[in-house]
Amino acid sequence: MKRRNTLRDEVILTISNDGKGALFGNMQSGSDIDKKNVEFSPITVLGDLLTTTNYVEKSIYRQDNYTLNQNYSEHPFLQGKKIHGVLEKSYFVALVTLQDVFDKVKPLTMNEFEIIRQFHSLNLTHRILFREENPMYGMTDLVEKHTWIKNSTTERYQYKTLDYRESFDEDNMLEQLFSAPYKFEYRCYRLEDIIFSVLHYLAFFKYKFAKCNHCERYYATQTYKTKYCNRKSPHEEYNHLECEQAVKDIKQLVARRKKSIEEHLKVNYKDLADDFHIKYHELRDPVKTEPTVENLNKIIQFTDKTNIKKYWYKKENRNPRTNTGAEYKKRQR
């Protein structure tokens, strides 16, 4: 049987406790993947996979409804031919699973992960490595003298695996996980192994799933206190900021504009103040619950100087007190 989405070489995926993910080729394989490591964020990388495709419902088989979009090869897991073979149907079946996991919102249990492992015939293996200071770091002379010492002298840290002694103590083990620097190391043989390695990590730490209120892309989170992911905003003028900060800045800009418009209206166009207030809130209120690029742009455009000058600060709308034009005279009659 032809193995689908088979990697040319074994690929190692690591996720460390500082939230950084990396992919690299097996150092022994001599492939050139190891020359170019790929970095990713485990929080957003799976959600981004869904944005490598367009979904149009045309078949009852959901995997048949995906088509790759142009930018798919920019995704860290799909970069270049070195990392994957040709994208086969099983990739799209994996996307269906991801979509279901994201929609579930709740964390994935390890038992549920086991179902996924079997359903997708995953071959991934993993181990958890703890970082500790390498006592032989820099001790070249000593190590040369004592050939039984196997430590490297150039690496500051060394990694050891979980320690099993006498009894299981799950709490103790988990405590260790959270207190010492660690990394999860996965060995992957197919593209699906790479994808679901990240899901395994997220399930292990009981991550929940959410859709960002601003960029509308899926991400993993341990708290629902914030409604935003840590991606850069898709708004073209704010794409140097993360989603939450971009929304904050836009809201502040709009609030400043509103204040100055209202002050100007009060003095010069009193009759219009109420109308403005109503129209403003028509566009501003949806932003409270759905601060999407589209909704934010509506209120940005509405409060834009050119727009306000054109539709609100018009001669014929001026207050009688300050109006010396025809409109004022007409009103006097």
- Residues forming contacts to Zn ion in the complex (CB under 5 A) are 212, 214-215, 229, 231, 243
Q: Which is nearer to Zn ion, 98 or 212 (CB)?
A: 212
In whole angstroms, the minimum distance from the beta carbon of 229 to Zn ion comes to 4
Q: How many CA atoms lie within 13 A of 168 on its CB side?
A: 1
The beta strand positions in the chain, using DSSP E, are 6-16, 21-25, 38-40, 53-55, 66-68, 125-133, 157-161, 182-190, 208-211, 218-221
Comparison of 90 and 230: residue with beta carbon closer to Zn ion: 230
195 touches 123 (CB < 8 A):
no
Gap between the Cα atoms of 320 and 83, Å rounded: 72
Q: Choose between 196 and 228: whose C-beta lies nearer to Zn ion.
A: 228
Question: Measured from the CB atom, is 190 or 231 closer to Zn ion?
Answer: 231
The SS3 call for residue 128 is: strand
Element containing residue 255 per DSSP (H, E) = helix 243-268
User: What is the smallest separation between the CB atom of 280 and Zn ion, expressed in angstroms?
Assistant: 25
Between residues 98 and 243, which has the closer beta carbon with respect to Zn ion? Answer: 243
Q: How far is the CB of 228 from Zn ion (least distance, A)?
A: 5
Letter for the amino acid at 32?
D
> Between 90 and 245, whose beta carbon lies closer to Zn ion?
245
Cβ 152 to Zn ion shortest distance, Å: 41
- Give me the DSSP letters along 194-205: HHHHHHHHHHHT
Half-sphere exposure of 131 (CA within 13 A, CB side): 15
- Least Å distance, CB 13 to Zn ion, is 24
